[in-house]
Amino acid sequence: MKEERKLLDDRVEQLALKCSEQQKEILEWEDKLESKEAERMEMRIVNSNLNSHLANVEQLNKELTEQLKNETILNDANKFNESERKLTEEIENLNELRKSMETTVQVLMADNNMLGERLAEREDGHEECLREVGKVSDITEVESRLYTLLFESLKRN
């Protein structure tokens, strides 16, 4: 019986030792679990902060996109105004050119009429009149060319 008792005591001691070791393992696992729980809580806080930061960045992105749209619209309007100003200048230049050409045509017509009258009055200066008429012919060609240039310029614009 003593032997059985000793075997039982040894067995109890072994079991107690094993229980003690398992208790230590359980405590270690509980510490690890608490540590992981604390990490998880920290990660939730970090995640929450990141989500808040992301929302701020998205709002800023929306604002910057809207600002860029407004700047693009303003830039397009400025380009349109500049084009309109250039066209107005071109129209004014063409109008001045037209007036100048009308004046030139009137002068040429007056010269033509005067030369025609001189030609009718003079019979003895026939060769000189023919030279004058040649000049008028050159002037008529210039007049025709000026009208052609005017119409081509107006077509382009």
pLDDT in tens, the chain (157 residues): 788 888 888 888 998 899 999 999 999 999 999 999 999 999 999 999 999 999 999 999 999 999 999 898 889 899 999 999 999 999 999 999 989 989 988 988 888 888 777 656 655 555 555 555 555 555 667 677 767 777 777 777 6
| Among the listed residues 108, 117, 104, 107, the one whose alpha carbon sits nearest the alpha carbon of residue 138 | 108
Angle at 153 between CA 97 and CA 108, to 5 degrees: 45
**For residue 136, with 0-12 CB atoms within 10 Å meaning exposed, 13-18 middle and 19 or more buried, which class applies?**
buried
Q: What is the largest CA-CA distance in the chain?
A: 176
Q: What is the pLDDT of residue 115?
A: 76
Predicted pLDDT of residue 135: 59
5 CA to centre of own chain: 96
What local confidence, expressed as pLDDT, does residue 1 receive? 75
pLDDT for residue 90: 93
Domain count, the chain: 1
CA angle (120, 125, 128) in 5-degree steps: 95
- CA 40 to chain CA mean position, Å: 46
Q: Residue 87 CA to chain centroid, in angstroms?
A: 23
Give dist(CA 65, CA 58) in Å, integer: 10
Contact present, 139 and 112 (Cβ < 8 Å) = yes
**What was the pLDDT predicted at 105?**
85
Residue located via tokens 């017509």: 109
- Residue 60 is predicted with a pLDDT of 95
Residue 114: closest CA among 142, 135, 143:
135
DSSP secondary structure string, 32-65?
Answer: HHHHHHHHHHHHHHHHHHHHHHHHHHHHHHHHHH
* Domain that residue 145 falls in: 2-156
pTM: 0.42
